[in-house]
Amino acid sequence: MNYQMHLFKGAPDDEAIKMIQYYENLALEYDPRGYCVCSSEGKDSRVLGHLYRRAGVKHFYLNNMTGIDPPELVRFQRKNFQEYRDAGYLAYSVKYLRSIWELMLKKKIPPLRTVRYCCAELKERRVQEQGNALLSFGVRKHESRARAQNRDELEIVAFGKKGRNIIMPYDNEENRRTFEVCYANKEKRLNPIVDWYDEYIWDYSRYWNLEQCSLYCEGFTRLGCIGCPMARKAGREREFARWPGYKEKYLRTFERMIEARKAEGRIIYDYARTAQDWFDWWLSDRPTTDKDEAQMVLELSEY
């Protein structure tokens, strides 16, 4: 597909830039630095940041370091953030308070699809550097069924970080007024590429000669945390084969979790007698309705 999105009015990038420019005054009311562009420097984040620079609006960049992102992506992010600084933009890389290994030992269970404490602690944690800024993300509906149902151009976290989002389409005047006036003290988010398909991302990158992380050339289609429970088994196995040191870290932490559970008299599951057994179960894509996983979710609720 050769999608020349610059040739006609109403193309995805044109609409995204109009949206970004429309809310700039509101963003400046919340923070004199402008928008906070939250970026991992994966393919979607790269396009998002480029749209902001093209829009000519005031903004700054924020990356929440996870400690388990692919090393190639980490190096790419550091290089790009330095380029942003050299160009006069503020760019913050914020380290986690607790590593994933510390979190697993504290919780004594691994992160699960149904309990992603890793996201809450490593990626979604509010940090001082973001201040009260209007946040912007490169999330897209077409990445998953959940995002299709729960994400939109405009979002307000109405009831705290654990509460539901109020989501609203951009092209509605009443929604715009609600976004600007109501929920004044709540977190607001702008997602300009939420309706983009993958081909839009790659066509845009090619047209603008926008460099992307080298891992995409190796066949990786998503660049997230290594071992993320939201990824399928085949993808996680490929990650652990590519970065075996991370597999060893997970196995060592699983062993320490077993020892900690024994010391506290907790359940030692049949499939988790050894670190390797537990790791294999964790990697197995067992349905989230499984009673053993439900038991672990119940245990986690004690914290």
Written as six digits, the tokens of 115 are 């309990």
On the question of pLDDT at 98 being above 80, the answer is: yes
Q: Which pLDDT does position 303 carry in this prediction?
A: 46
Question: In angstroms, rounded to a whole number, what is the distance separating the alpha carbons of residues 80 and 76?
Answer: 6
Q: What is the pTM of this model?
A: 0.82
132, β-bridge pairs? none
Which candidate, 22, 67, 69, 45, places its Cα nearest to that of 205? 45
Domains (range + CATH), the chain? 12-102+116-217 (3.40.50.620)
For 6-31, how does the pLDDT look when each residue is reduced to its tens digit (9 = 90+)?
Answer: 433 458 899 899 989 989 998 999 99
The token pair at 113 is: 């699809």
Given pLDDT bands bounded at 50, 70 and 90, which one contains residue 297?
A: low
The confidence band for 296, taking pLDDT boundaries of 50, 70 and 90, is: low
